[in-house]
């Protein structure tokens, strides 16, 4: 049985999702930080990665494109601000264009241009506890409100991503 917890608060508006995964922390770290692994699981069900370029280092970037059902291309960019191998990654997350330039959310111009994401991996009960905390960064009041309103859809979206991650980890551990 999969246990997922979603927590939301109003200041500074974090979105937090946790999942206990039946995988060693080092394996989870590898599939979270290597482009060849992210291609297999990063994105909700029905989404495929059509571009994945990783420069995983402090100050480095991960530039990717998710091909959505119906053919829409959704570009994104992670900029790494803190890396504590194998337990913590802090990054700025953005929508982007195909060239890697920061771009507005293609569906909602009032979405924050920057969000700060902190991912922690903690060994627990023979597996790894994954915690993702996501907050608007340098955002207006309208952007914060839009982010908060988005929590309802972010929960199912992230659960779908983590379901795919869990399946991918299981496949890797049976090889």
Question: Which of 56, 53, 125 shows the shortest CA–CA distance to 84?
Answer: 56
Rg (CA), the chain: 16
Cα distance between residue 97 and residue 69, in whole Å? 19
Backbone φ and ψ for 48, nearest 5 degrees, come out as -120, 155
Question: Which of 61, 59, 113 shows the shortest CA–CA distance to 82?
Answer: 59
Please say if the pLDDT value at position 9 is more than 80. no
- Look-up: residue for tokens 């992230």? 158
Cα distance between residue 132 and residue 136, in whole Å? 14
Please say if the pLDDT value at position 72 is more than 60. yes
pLDDT digit string (tens) for 97-127? 999 999 999 989 999 999 999 999 999 999 9
CATH assignment at residue 70: 3.30.530.20
Please say if the pLDDT value at position 2 is more than 60. no
Counting residues of the chain whose pLDDT is more than 90, the rounded percentage is 83
Number of domains in the chain: 1
Residue 5 confidence class, pLDDT cut points 50, 70, 90 = very low
- Residues spanned by the domain of 11: 4-174
Backbone φ and ψ for 154, nearest 5 degrees, come out as -70, -35
């Amino acid at each position: 049985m999969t246990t997922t917890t979603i927590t939301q608060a109003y200041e500074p508006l974090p979105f937090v999702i946790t999942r206990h995964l039946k995988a060693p922390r080092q394996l989870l770290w590898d599939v979270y930080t290597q482009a060849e692994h992210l291609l297999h699981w990063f994105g909700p069900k029905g989404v495929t990665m059509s571009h994945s370029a990783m420069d995983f280092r402090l100050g480095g970037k991960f530039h990717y494109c998710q091909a959505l059902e119906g053919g829409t291309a959704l570009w994104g960019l992670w900029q790494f601000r803190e890396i504590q191998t194998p337990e913590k990654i802090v990054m700025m997350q953005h929508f982007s264009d195909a060239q890697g330039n920061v771009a507005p959310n293609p569906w909602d111009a009032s979405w924050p241009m920057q969000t700060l994401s902190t991912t922690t991996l903690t060994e627990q009960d023979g597996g790894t506890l994954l915690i993702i905390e996501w907050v608007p960064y340098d955002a207006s009041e309208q952007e914060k409100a839009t982010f908060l309103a988005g929590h309802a859809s972010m929960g199912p979206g992230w659960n779908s991503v983590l379901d795919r991650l869990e399946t991918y980890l299981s496949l890797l551990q049976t090889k």
